[in-house]
Structure 1
Amino acid sequence: MRRLEEAASQNRTFGDRVASFVARFCGSPTFVWVHAAAFGSWIARNVWPGVQHPDPFPFTFLTMWSSMEAIFLSSFILIAQNYAMRISERRDKLDVQINLLTEQEITKVLQMLQEIASAVGAGQKPDPEVRALAEATEHEALVEQIDQAAGVGREDLGAAGRR
């Protein structure tokens, strides 16, 4: 798994790397303190009596600057979140595939155990639960049961439900 994570990390685009760095830095206390100091000094400089005020109250330039910064920061954060979502979806798909393979293997093992038990004469009374577990799982039916239990219809899932 570590190799898969490292490979995914090395295959990131330059934009993903920059967005990740910006998002990490913007989520740090250093970012907050730097902004508090910058905004505080800007406001102090522009309200201090006897000093020229390049951006007097209501601080139009500061407002414009912080609005532009918010737009760019939110874009970088969304890019970083999209990358994280792609990696998460990749992990989820891998997890589903491994779970499906495991389910098939366990079903086959149960079938083999039943055959061995009957071949050596160790047959006990039929167990309906073991018989049900030894049958192949119908994944589509299982998904429908989960959706029904959750109260979600196929139309609620949009394109994902029509696959």
Structure 2
Amino acid sequence: MTADNPLSTDPDQTGLSSVLHRNIDALRERREREAKAATLEERIAGLVTRFTGSMAFVYIHLAALAVWVSWNAGLIPGLKPFDPSFVILATEASVEAIFLSTFVLISQNRASAAADRRADLDLQINLLAEHEVTRLLQLTAAIAAKVGVTEAHRPELSELKRDVAPEAVLDRLEDTEESEKA
């Protein structure tokens, strides 16, 4: 929006309109608020998950595993093996896997909740846009009828002017899924 015209959406030097800048800023602020609202446990789970999903984690594990195996296989002179059957290594790996999978699940639950909120927002915006387009079609048809444009009476336009009932669409989708499963 420019100072001359508050409804203007002229793109700036970046090619983005002021509305897009506002939306991007609003989403960034929302994510920052959500990050601040995260519990200590969620933040810890996020940090652990980010680190364990990194190449640094892989390199550290490869190095530790190489040292462990070399030591306990007797390949390092002067060091007496402490886990020659690798039972301790297997136990340690199993316990680590339990904790890492739990941290990943915690992070996925949080990400899933955020995705559900975004999906709900998308649905609401899509329903609003559909409603607005339907009203615009009705208004355009009324104007066309008033000025005598006969093209406005095409059958597909009358169908497009009808409101869509989202619950009916969901019911139809569920019926289709159920019939495909059967």
Q: Normalised by the size of structure 2, how large is the TM-score?
A: 0.75
CA contact (8 A) 2:46 2:107 kept: yes
Moved more, 73-82 or 13-22: 13-22
- 2:35 counterpart residue number: 9
Distance 1:50 1:6, change over 3 A: closer
Counterpart of 1:54 in structure 2: which amino acid?
F
- The offset of 1:14, in angstroms, is 1.5
The question of 1:81 aligning with 2:108 is answered yes
Partner of 1:52: 80
Match of 1:107 among 134, 140, 143: 134
How much does 1:50 deviate?
A: 5.6
* 2:100 aligned with 1:61: no
Which stretch of the first structure deviates more once superposed, 87-96 or 6-15?
A: 6-15
> How far apart are 1:125 and its partner, in Å?
5.8
Tell me, what secondary structure is at the counterpart of 2:178?
Answer: coil
Percent identity of the aligned residues?
39
Whole-angstrom CA distance in 2 between matches of 1:109 and 1:89 = 30
Question: Residue in 2 aligned with 1:32?
Answer: 58
- SS at structure 1 position matched to 2:149: coil
Q: Distance in 2 between matches of 1:51 and 1:17?
A: 40
* Number of aligned residue pairs: 152
RMSD: 1.9
CA distance in structure 2 between the partners assigned to 1:71 and 1:77 by the alignment: 10
Please report the TM-score for the alignment, with normalisation by the length of structure 1: 0.83
Q: Deviations over 1:41-78 (max 9, x none)?
A: 1121222266322222x122222111111110110011
Which is worse superposed, 99-108 or 125-134?
125-134
Tell me if 1:19 matches 2:49.
Answer: no
The structure, 1 or 2, with the larger RCO (C-alpha pairs under 8 Å, 6+ apart) is 1
How much does 1:127 deviate? 1.0
